[in-house]
Structure 1
């Protein structure tokens, strides 16, 4: 299985045309591109990367997971902000829950394995000669963040035997993971609106109650399901600032 994963990664890199980076888009000092990854023929995982440019030194990795019917593009302002702060951000479009497919919520149980695969694939770029990220990834410091079903996916990464390089996690409006927590405790931050009707705050508190310490639960007063993640929302500066402050404390750049 490991050999198959390596083959799929090599095919994905060839499809992406690694070498001197040709940015798909740029926002100030942030560059983005898409890796055509796949965890098997029936699990395509096109993954958008955001990273600062030019790259100097080594940068921690953030794995971001979207919610049901979502896409990485929806969260581009957040991801670009993290990249501006010095992180490399990887956001896969999950095969059965993204905006371009008929959503199958039963597939959420498979997404933590997808997320883990993407983390490994991006970490491997640190050793790919000619790739713009080669020599610039801090492969021993990875954070995971997710919204809604992506928050559930994120928490699913922190199960028994999770790798030591997974240093912190943030669940935004998520539920408890498909399996229990385990392995070495890592700091976890939970953010949830107290008027959320899609994923009620009690579901977020249940996930928080199951999680090992260290952990923190932040209630966003008057908020529903994720509107506070849009730059036009009045709560966006505060929430995005809380996320960045947590990252800076638990998975600092440099």
Structure 2
């Protein structure tokens, strides 16, 4: 018989069975089509905290299984939207939405938080088991940029300084998320993401920034240090996980055996799974033991896969 426990009592090393439902739809007038979601959660437990996960450019709700499955199996409700830039939706190159896709993504994320009650009812057996006040946001690449806006970062391109901060989010995880942009963009970067000119001065929400020290992006004239900037430039409590040898897919977080991963490394993925889980448990559940344990394990590893650095201001 499976015992019912709360997330605070969950065993970090013992995954739980997970239920998942895909293609849930939120009506989204003016968006062009409804917002589609995948929702995953452990089949037992109560007061489950929520992770809103934003995929990278062109991806979808069905990617990032190594993270989404892991988090759900360890006590979180994971919500994965499919944004308009997803390749599966086939948004036309001339579509005007492309010019403001970054903003549409943030509005989609906020719409999800506005309708957590409806989403909760969409997965059989989940109703009444979700702590809707305990929410984190996470994202990879362009999804990290989306997440940073929810945490307080602002887009400055074209004279903008729009505040899209969402106080409902208690913590964030930015995975291979871009730096400032602007003058640091390459010619390709200016062509693909001309809007990318980010200020992190107001990104006040606690966040874990995960960046690979071998992530050389064609979008910037900078090196891998460009991806450290959300940690370096944002105020308040921030932690950086520097992943040794990590390229943009960080060892394969975007899926199981995906061809886009150029630095496939199960150990690297396992590190990111464990560190992000411990961080989210610390931030949302006050589990200091989980965080101190992962920090100690990494610092005492004779051949570590990464390094943790923390600042408080």
- TM-score, normalised with respect to structure 1: 0.77
Is the CA contact 1:58–1:136 (under 8 Å) kept in the aligned structure 2? Answer: yes
List aligned pairs for 1:114-125, cutoff 5 A: 114-125=108-119
Per the TM alignment, residue 184 of structure 1 is displaced from its structure 2 partner at its CA by: 8.7
Uncovered stretches (5+) of structure 1, i.e. residues with no partner? 1-26
Q: What is the CA–CA distance in structure 2 between the aligned matches of 1:240 and 1:130, rounded to whole Å?
A: 24
Q: How does 1:93-172 map to 2 (within 5 A)?
A: 93-102=82-91, 104=98, 107-125=101-119, 132-159=125-152, 160=163, 162-172=165-175
The alpha carbon displacement at 1:175 in A equals 1.6
Structure 2 residue 66 is matched with structure 1 residue 47: no
Shift of 1:206: 2.5
Distance 1:130 1:51, change over 3 A: closer
Cα offset, 1:243, TM superposition: 0.6
What is the alpha-carbon distance in structure 1 between the residues aligned to residue 143 and residue 99 of structure 2?
Answer: 11
Q: How many residues align?
A: 226
Runs of 4+ residues over 6 Å off in structure 1:
none
2:281 corresponds to: 248
User: 1:164 Cα deviation (Å)?
Assistant: 3.4
Q: Distance in 1 between matches of 2:203 and 2:244?
A: 32
Pick the aligned partner of 2:210 from 162, 185, 191.
191
Write the distance in 1 (CA, Å) between the matches of 2:116 and 2:71. Answer: 17
CA distance in 2, matches of 1:69, 1:154: 16
Aligned residue for 1:238? Answer: 271
- 1:224 corresponds to which of 247, 264, 268: 247
CA distance in 1, matches of 2:202, 2:88: 33
**SS of alignment partner, residue 39 of structure 1:** coil
Larger Rg: 2
* 3-state SS of paired residue (1:74): coil
Secondary structure class of the residue paired with 1:46: strand
When the two chains are superposed, the root-mean-square deviation of aligned CA atoms in Å is 3.0
Cα offset for 1:112?
1.3
Segments of structure 2 that go 5 or more residues without pairing to the other structure are: 1-14, 153-162, 181-195, 257-263, 288-313
Q: Deviations over 1:111-136 (max 9, x none)?
A: 1111111122224545x699633221
Change (3 A) 1:45 1:69: same
* Contact 2:201/2:233 (8 A) holds in 1: no
What is the aligned partner in structure 1 of residue 70 from structure 2? Answer: 81
- Whether the 8 Å contact between 2:51 and 2:78 is mirrored in structure 1 is yes
CA deviations on 1:183-220 (whole Å, 9 max, x unpaired) are 79321111011111236533322232332210012211
